[in-house]
């Protein structure tokens, strides 16, 4: 069976896996454009348009009785054609945070002056990183997933990762081995950390064992997600057995070849060094078959592509070339035994993250274990910043996908590498015959949506996209329904295009986090990994903000527009965040030069200034639910259905991931967020503690250990608190416009007024 062939049948989840049915697209139109439910005609036509066989193609034209006719070679081609019509002709689109704006389409759909044709340049358009299922979707409801899946379909995604609920299958497999519930519970990780348990990085759950209720709920959610993916023309990438097992597995399998994995990210052995069943042990293939058979019984034969990563930031037991080849060979054979048409999908992150171990010789040995190239699909996870396909000679012939990570941990700074995701991606396609797709592999789907749509739309263009034109069209569709759009909107986004979205500094490879999110100290300014120093001229962001603000003066209806509200908060956030660095530098400089008691007034003044800036940032963020801590926490707690103990467990998980990330801050501040409520209850108190300490000591007596002790004491207490919405009152009593006017008046130099 060739790569990507889908085995379709009636699934046990009770939903027909639509091989060639267009009903899923009609359902999408009913959900998102109910007034136009009968105004589109979808037809599968394998001969549609000129192009390469096996690649998606579509044609949009005027149909009879004022309908829009869309023909395409696949469901994904049809949905891509639908979005092309909606964005180019009706000037509406669907978005991550603000949701669908398709209802803003004209009451009478505009006809076309000439047909629109599209042809994909790659077979696959991939979506998700394994860790996105923890950083972003951990607590999503079915409503959240419905919007996400419609977004993916309309953007041409046809290969999504589908991790939700896999623990249900895994538990059944472990029970079949004879492991007890307690032994299994000691292995599984909490809801906000399941991605790294699936990777074999961590085991166990700090804050309490993972409740069986959660496992069942997530499985039920997956039973909704998968049929919708298939209905919308997507091939889900399903989990497989990786080899990681509970520590007591040797009790059930006393002769099994099990080794302990490497420590990860400073976690103690209790939570790391996962046990690993060697793939050349006969039990591995038996467990693999059990896992895939149970999964197929639950979901049906909807896909033969399986995600399987065994060394994500883990070191193999041995670097011997024969050992590495045997690992992949026997893993591959276990998949083929369970599903003869199996294709193994693997993230190529390991070759970058542990480059010192993964020499070219070892990579080649490792990949050679899969003797048939088309039985593997590799995600070149970080192509825009650290492409591994070049150093591996296009993965020695294995099919691979050019991917964009862009974001670590859901950090929220404005950032992008437009030239890389357009020019470099196009060049790679021309240069590498084994490149078969483009993909989004963000760690957290937290912002900068335009960077992700750009890559997906690049998949339909032979030449690099004209980004100036692309941003212009983005603005036109994004603010649809607000009357005649002021020219300042277009100018504001074009300034962003040439500043925050045009990073060419190779030392900064991902979204920039703010210095205020890093645990306070004497050097909160970072370069390189998770940099906190902007790579652009910050005055351009201020100019962009001024134009966005001015646009609403010319067209006041913008203030009532959800897209404008979101973007005004986002851009105001970035302006304030950029202003934090010079204020922080002044604070440290003032403290370093203070030599008398009289100077304490200057230090107090600078401390108050820094804290006021963060307080004002919090007020702006609280005006929009997409920038609130409570949205994250309430989403987590909603799964408990008023079970107080379960609610507390879920809230602890939600709080811990975005702050300490571990029981003792093993990856502290990695997944930090600029959220209203989080700024005021977590970051402001940390900086207050730090400022108070500075006011009590001289530079000569500064003790970093003492500072850290004071901060950790506060941070650990914050983990176990319960959220209440009293902190959000400021975001509800005043309008966004009023709050921004207040903040602007208090900080005129920050907003370019002086």
Q: Which of 407, 439, 462 is the last residue of a domain?
A: 462
Q: At what angle do helices 142-154 and 75-88 cross, to 10 degrees?
A: 80
- Are 482 and 557 in contact by the 8 Å Cβ rule? The answer is yes
Q: Are residues 175 and 90 in the same domain?
A: no
Domain that holds residue 168: 124-462
Q: What mean pLDDT is predicted for residues 392-403?
A: 98
Q: What is the mean pLDDT of the chain?
A: 94
Residue 188 lies in a domain: yes
Residue 398 lies in a domain: yes
CATH of the domain at 712: 1.20.120.670
Q: Are residues 321 and 374 in the same domain?
A: yes
Q: Are residues 167 and 312 in the same domain?
A: yes
Q: Are residues 401 and 424 in the same domain?
A: yes
Q: What mean pLDDT is predicted for residues 92-113?
A: 96
What is the predicted pLDDT for the residue at 595? 64
Q: Are residues 441 and 332 in the same domain?
A: yes
Q: Which residue has the tokens 């923890």?
A: 134
What is the predicted pLDDT for the residue at 604? 95
pLDDT digits 0-9 by tens, 129-146: 999 999 999 999 999 999
Sign of the alpha-carbon dihedral angle for 505, 507, 508, 514? negative
Q: What mean pLDDT is predicted for residues 527-534?
A: 91
CATH of the domain at 408: 3.20.20.80
Q: Are residues 114 and 214 in the same domain?
A: no
Residue 341 lies in a domain: yes
Residues 699, 683: Cα–Cα separation, whole Å: 23
Predicted TM-score of the model (pTM):
0.96
Residues 523, 159: Cα–Cα separation, whole Å: 43
Q: Are residues 183 and 108 in the same domain?
A: no
Of the candidates 415, 425, 435, the one whose C-alpha atom is nearest the C-alpha of residue 464 is 425
Residue 619 lies in a domain: yes
**pLDDT for residue 3 is more than 90:** no
Residue 18 lies in a domain: no
**pLDDT for residue 446 is more than 90:** no
Residues 55, 72: Cα–Cα separation, whole Å: 11
Residues 411, 658: Cα–Cα separation, whole Å: 10
Indicate the helix (H) or strand (E) that contains 440: strand 435-440
Q: What mean pLDDT is predicted for residues 692-720?
A: 96
Residue 506 lies in a domain: no
Q: Which of 462, 492, 520 is the last residue of a domain?
A: 462
What is the predicted pLDDT for the residue at 26? 98
Q: What mean pLDDT is predicted for residues 85-92?
A: 97
Is beta strand 305-307 parallel, antiparallel or unpaired with respect to 238-239? parallel
What is the predicted pLDDT for the residue at 731? 52
**pLDDT for residue 8 is more than 70:** no
- Are 622 and 730 in contact by the 8 Å Cβ rule? The answer is yes
Number of domains the chain contains? 3
Q: Are residues 256 and 163 in the same domain?
A: yes
Q: What mean pLDDT is predicted for residues 451-468?
A: 98
What is the predicted pLDDT for the residue at 730? 55
What is the predicted pLDDT for the residue at 754? 65
DSSP-based helix, strand, coil % in the chain, nearest 5:
50, 10, 40
Residue 523 lies in a domain: no
Q: Are residues 447 and 586 in the same domain?
A: no
Q: Are residues 32 and 168 in the same domain?
A: no
Q: Which of 70, 86, 119 is the last residue of a domain?
A: 119
Q: Given pLDDT bands bounded at 50, 70 and 90, which one contains residue 166? A: very high
Q: Given pLDDT bands bounded at 50, 70 and 90, which one contains residue 16? A: very low
Residue 83 lies in a domain: yes
């Amino acid at each position: 069976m060739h790569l990507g062939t889908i085995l379709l049948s009636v699934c046990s989840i009770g939903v027909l896996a639509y091989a060639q049915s267009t009903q899923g697209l009609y359902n999408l139109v009913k959900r998102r454009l109910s007034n136009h439910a009968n105004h589109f005609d979808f037809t599968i036509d394998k001969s549609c348009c000129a192009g390469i066989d096996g690649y998606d193609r579509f044609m949009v034209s005027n149909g009879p009785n004022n309908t829009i006719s869309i023909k395409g070679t696949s469901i994904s081609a049809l949905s891509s054609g639908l979005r092309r019509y909606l964005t180019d002709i009706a000037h509406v689109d669907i978005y991550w945070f603000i949701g669908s704006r398709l209802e803003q389409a004209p009451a009478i759909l505009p006809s076309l002056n000439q047909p629109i044709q599209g042809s994909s340049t790659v077979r696959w358009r991939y979506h998700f990183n394994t860790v996105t299922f923890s950083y972003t979707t951990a607590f999503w409801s079915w409503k959240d997933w419905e919007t996400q899946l419609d977004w993916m379909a309309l953007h041409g995604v046809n290969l999504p990762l589908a991790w939700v609920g896999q623990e249900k299958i895994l538990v059944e497999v472990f029970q079949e081995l004879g492991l007890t519930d307690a032994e299994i519970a000691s292995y599984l990780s909490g809801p906000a950390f399941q991605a790294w348990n699936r990777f074999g990085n961590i085991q166990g759950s700090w804050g309490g064992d993972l409740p069986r209720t959660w496992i069942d709920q997530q499985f039920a959610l997956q039973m909704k997600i998968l049929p919708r993916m298939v209905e919308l023309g997507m091939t889900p990438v399903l989990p497989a057995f990786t080899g990681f097992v509970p520590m007591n597995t040797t009790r059930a399998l006393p002769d099994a070849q099990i080794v302990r994995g490497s420590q990860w990210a400073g976690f103690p052995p209790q939570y790391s060094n996962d046990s690993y069943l060697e793939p050349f042990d006969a039990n591995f293939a038996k467990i693999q078959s059990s896992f895939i058979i149970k999964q197929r019984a639950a979901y049906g034969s909807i896909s033969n592509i399986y995600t399987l990563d065994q060394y994500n930031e883990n070191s193999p037991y041995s670097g011997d070339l024969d050992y590495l080849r045997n690992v992949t060979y026997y893993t591959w054979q276990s998949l083929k035994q369970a599903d003869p048409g199996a294709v193994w999908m693997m993230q190529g992150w390991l070759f970058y993250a542990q480059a010192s171990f993964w020499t070219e010789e070892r990579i080649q040995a490792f990949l050679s274990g899969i003797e048939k190239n088309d039985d593997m699909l590799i995600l070149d996870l970080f192509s825009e910043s650290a492409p591994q396909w070049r150093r591996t000679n296009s993965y020695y012939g294995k099919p691979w996908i050019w991917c964009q990570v862009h974001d670590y941990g859901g950090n929220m700074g404005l950032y992008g590498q437009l030239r890389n995701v357009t020019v470099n991606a196009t060049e790679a396609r021309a240069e590498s015959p084994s490149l078969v797709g483009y993909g989004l592999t963000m760690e957290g789907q937290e912002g900068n949506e335009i960077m992700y749509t750009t890559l997906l739309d690049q998949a339909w263009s032979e030449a690099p996209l004209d980004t100036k034109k692309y941003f212009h069209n983005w603005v036109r569709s994004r603010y649809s329904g607000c009357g005649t759009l002021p020219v300042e909107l277009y100018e504001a986004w074009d300034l962003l295009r040439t500043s925050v979205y045009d990073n060419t500094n190779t030392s900064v490879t991902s979204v920039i986090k703010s210095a205020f999110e890093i645990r306070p100290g004497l050097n909160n300014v970072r370069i390189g990994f998770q940099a906190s120093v902007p790579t652009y001229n910050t005055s351009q962001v201020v100019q962009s903000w001024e134009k966005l603000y001015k646009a609403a003066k010319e067209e006041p209806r913008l203030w009532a527009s959800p897209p404008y509200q979101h973007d005004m908060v986002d851009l105001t956030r970035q302006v304030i965040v950029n202003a934090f660095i010079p204020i922080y530098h002044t604070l440290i400089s003032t403290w370093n030069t203070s030599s008398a008691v009289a100077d304490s007034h200057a230090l107090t003044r600078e401390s108050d200034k820094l804290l006021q800036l963060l307080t004002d940032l919090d007020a702006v963020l609280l005006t929009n639910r997409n920038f609130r801590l409570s949205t994250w926490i309430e989403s987590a707690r909603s799964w408990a259905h008023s079970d107080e103990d379960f609610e507390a467990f879920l809230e602890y998980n939600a709080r811990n991931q975005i702050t300490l990330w571990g029981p003792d801050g093993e990856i502290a501040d990695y997944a930090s967020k600029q959220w209203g409520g989080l700024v005021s209850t977590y970051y402001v108190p940390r900086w207050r503690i730090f400022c108070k300490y500075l006011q009590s000591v001289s530079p000569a007596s500064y003790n970093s250990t003492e500072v850290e002790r004071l901060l950790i004491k506060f941070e650990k207490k914050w983990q176990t608190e319960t959220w209440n919405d009293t902190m959000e009152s400021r975001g509800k009593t005043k309008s966004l416009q009023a709050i921004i006017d207040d903040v602007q008046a208090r900080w005129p130099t920050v907003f370019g007024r002086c």
